[in-house]
Amino acid sequence: MKRNPHRTQNIAFFFLLVAMLLIVVPVSLIVVIIIQKGLPAINWQFLSDVPRQGMRAGGIFPAIVGTIYLVTGAIIFALPIGLLAAIYLSEYSKDNPLNRIIKLAIVNLAGVPSVVYGLFGLALFVVFFKFGASILSGSLTLGIMILPIIITTSREALESVPQSFREVSLSLGASKWQTIRHIVLPNAIPGILTGTILGLGRAAGETAPILFTVAAFYLPQLPKSIFDQAMALPYHLYVISTQVPNVDEKIRYGTAFVLLALVLFMNLVAIIIRYKFRKKKKW
Amino acid sequence: MVKFEINDLNIWFDSTQALKDVSMQILPNEVLSVIGPSNSGKTTFLRMLNRMNDLNPNFRMSGNVMFEKEDIMKIDVELLRRKIGMVFALPLPLPLSIFDNVAYGVRMHGLTDKTRMAEKVREALRQGYLWDEVKDRLTESAFKLSGGQQQRLCIARTLAVEPEVILFDEPCSGLDPISTAKVEDAMVKLKEKYTIILVTNNVKQAARVGDRTAFFLNGELVELDKTDKIFTAPRDKRTDGYIRGKFG
């Protein structure tokens, strides 16, 4: 049989298309189903009221607030530390076996199961530092979980700034720090924000790390300080889906919808900032 | 008074030797052309003078380079680079506006006064023969300029720092003949105030611009003499072969 290049091309094209659909179809189905089943639950009371009747009615306001606090805390903790670590790794550390192992280890930390971070947070923050189950412990645990993501993406962003820019700046008598501060960092910000977006989404959605460190099963009042426990959307979703019988499906999907929308909204803010910086980029 | 005195300079990158036993002097307010085929060590030599080689982790050296009787390895490297400016082979504007490109060096050295800054930028752009072309578009990105304009911007940026020496690393290699002529004009005018060291692949350019010319081959300084002598009666037959275009 003679080879038909046209046919092999069609076969290849078919498999590529199937692979693409295998990704797109489930993702769109998830979104569509959550919107379809969750949207009817969304009203002002659902967003602004505390859960009532054993979480079978009322709203999810404390969980929304809790998740916002936790994500904000995690970013406040992880972004500066991650960025500084990334600057050190990309600009100052020498290329030797030890540093290569450190970089590899950080990349691999991003793949550690989140429940392991949860246990770590329980041991370190809740028990050892005696922060108790609190927003502080939860934020720090989430922060540690997203550190590897932020470090790795920031490092890649810093390293993608052309070496020639650094040489020019140094040749004009600028110090190394001035070069980093005025030339390297401004051009790496879009990439750093991409890492922050990824970290944000992960911190908002994970259940396991907050399970032992902050999440309250049912806490109808808002937290008053960072040493209080709080409800959080992913954990609340888990609770009303598996721990409390006879919760209306509408409420469960409504909670998932709010979580999705919240993550999307936070990402949108970061994307807009990134877009502003990209527009300022002059090369 | 000599500007640079170089004694038995050897440079290695890893185990490859890039410069071998180079000794020479560079005089104030001269244009020294450095010629030689690629891989002859001329760029390594140039980058030694403002210590850009330090950036390569595999760099090793022996011998010494004295700048105004002081060992450059003992001078504060930022101060050294302020006094010894550099223009690179390709036009390399920073990702900033035209104005900020020229202001960058001065700003990094601590000048904050806006009026003084504007004066300095204007003066530097005039000296780089670019002012008339860009005076109405100083806030535009430097990347919007043509290649030749970008290279003159880089010269102006170097001049703004008010160095004593300017190192040119094949500054016209990416430029068309007309832009090249403009850059060369700028260089000749500049030698009244500055010491200029010009690395070039273009033998004719070396002859046009240089007071003295140094010929490098395989990391060795083969010959250093007055430019007309190098080009009319070189002592070494390898120099003769190179400038006649027999190799390289």
Under an 8 A CB cutoff, do B82 and A182 touch?
no
Q: Read off the pLDDT of each residue in B70-84 and give the average, rounded to a whole number.
A: 94
Q: What is the ipTM of this complex?
A: 0.91
Q: Read off the pLDDT of each residue in B11-17 and give the average, rounded to a whole number.
A: 93
Chain A hits for B101, CB-CB cut-off 8 Å, are none
Q: Identify whether the C-beta of residue A229 lies closer than 8 Å to the C-beta of residue A133.
A: yes
Q: What is the percent of chain B where pLDDT is above 70?
A: 99
Under an 8 A CB cutoff, do A187 and B95 touch?
yes
| pLDDT score, position B108 | 93
- Rounded Cα distance between B166 and B247, Å, is 29
Q: Identify whether the C-beta of residue A51 lies closer than 8 Å to the C-beta of residue A60.
A: yes
| pLDDT score, position A278 | 80
Q: What is the percent of chain A where pLDDT is above 90?
A: 62
Chain A hits for B78, CB-CB cut-off 8 Å, are 173-175
pLDDT tens string A206-231: 999 999 898 888 888 888 888 888 89
Q: How confident is the model at residue A88 (pLDDT cuts 50, 70, 90)?
A: very high
Under an 8 A CB cutoff, do B85 and A171 touch?
yes
Q: How confident is the model at residue B65 (pLDDT cuts 50, 70, 90)?
A: very high
pLDDT tens string B23-48: 999 999 899 999 998 889 999 999 99
Q: Report residue A15 as tokens.
A: 């498999």
**How many residues are recorded in chain A?**
283
Q: Flag whether pLDDT at A111 surpasses 60.
A: yes
Q: Identify whether the C-beta of residue A230 lies closer than 8 Å to the C-beta of residue A65.
A: yes
Q: Flag whether pLDDT at A283 surpasses 70.
A: no
Q: Read off the pLDDT of each residue in A61-90 and give the average, rounded to a whole number.
A: 94
Write the residue in B57, B81, B141 that is nearest to A173 by C-beta: B81
Residue-wise DSSP of chain B:
--SEEEEEEEEEETTEEEEEEEEEEE-TT-EEEEE--TTSSHHHHHHHHTTGGGGSTTEEEEEEEEETTEEGGGS-HHHHHHHEEEE-SS----SSBHHHHHHHHHHHTT---HHHHHHHHHHHHHHTT-HHHHTT-TTSBGGGS-HHHHHHHHHHHHHHT--SEEEEESTTTTS-HHHHHHHHHHHHHHTTTSEEEEE-S-HHHHHHH-SEEEEEETTEEEEEEEHHHHHHS-SSHHHHHHHTTS--
Write the residue in A168, A171, A178 that is nearest to B50 by C-beta: A171
Interface of B with A (CB under 8 A): 50, 52, 55, 57, 78-79, 81-82, 85-86, 88, 90, 92, 94-97, 104-105, 108-109, 141-143, 154, 157-158, 161
Q: Flag whether pLDDT at B172 surpasses 90.
A: no
For chain B, domains (ranges, CATH) are: 4-243 (3.40.50.300)
Q: How confident is the model at residue A175 (pLDDT cuts 50, 70, 90)?
A: very high
Chain A residue with Cα closest to B162? A172
Q: What is the mean pLDDT of chain A?
A: 90
| pLDDT score, position A282 | 55
Q: Flag whether pLDDT at A129 surpasses 60.
A: yes
pLDDT tens string A179-193: 999 999 999 998 899
pLDDT tens string A131-147: 988 999 999 999 999 99
Q: Read off the pLDDT of each residue in A46-54 and give the average, rounded to a whole number.
A: 86
- Judge: domain A60-234, CATH 1.10.3720.10: yes
Q: Read off the pLDDT of each residue in A33-44 and give the average, rounded to a whole number.
A: 90
Chain B hits for A190, CB-CB cut-off 8 Å, are none
Q: How far is A102 from chain B (nearest CA, A)?
A: 19
Chain B hits for A186, CB-CB cut-off 8 Å, are 95
| pLDDT score, position A236 | 92
Q: Flag whether pLDDT at B179 surpasses 90.
A: no
Instruction: Count residue pairs from A and B with Cβ separation < 8 A.
Output: 69
Under an 8 A CB cutoff, do B142 and A164 touch?
no
Q: What is the mean pLDDT of chain B?
A: 91
Under an 8 A CB cutoff, do B97 and A170 touch?
no
| pLDDT score, position A243 | 87
Chain B hits for A187, CB-CB cut-off 8 Å, are 95
Chain A hits for B82, CB-CB cut-off 8 Å, are 172-173
Chain B residue with Cα closest to A283? B95
Under an 8 A CB cutoff, do A283 and B105 touch?
no
Q: Read off the pLDDT of each residue in A10-34 and give the average, rounded to a whole number.
A: 94
pLDDT tens string B113-147: 999 999 999 999 998 888 999 999 999 999 999 88
| Partner residues linked to A154 by β-bridges | none
Under an 8 A CB cutoff, do B90 and A187 touch?
no
Chain B residue with Cα closest to A94? B57
Under an 8 A CB cutoff, do A173 and B57 touch?
no
Residue A153: name the closest of A240, A97, A102, A85 by CA.
A85
- Rounded Cα distance between A34 and A258, Å, is 10
Chain A residue with Cα closest to B160? A172
Under an 8 A CB cutoff, do B52 and A171 touch?
yes
Write the residue in A172, A186, A281 that is nearest to B81 by C-beta: A172
Q: Residue ranges of the domains in chain A?
A: 60-234
Helix or strand (DSSP H, E) at A152: helix A135-159
pLDDT tens string A146-157: 999 999 999 999
Chain B hits for A178, CB-CB cut-off 8 Å, are 108
| pLDDT score, position B187 | 83
Q: Read off the pLDDT of each residue in A35-53 and give the average, rounded to a whole number.
A: 89
Q: Flag whether pLDDT at A166 surpasses 90.
A: yes
CA A205 to chain centre: 7
Write the residue in B78, B82, B95 that is nearest to A282 by C-beta: B95
Which of A95, A100, A168 would you mutate first to test chain B, the one with the most B CBs within 10 A? A168
Q: Flag whether pLDDT at B183 surpasses 70.
A: yes
Chain B hits for A183, CB-CB cut-off 8 Å, are 94-95
Q: How confident is the model at residue A281 (pLDDT cuts 50, 70, 90)?
A: low
| pLDDT score, position B107 | 93
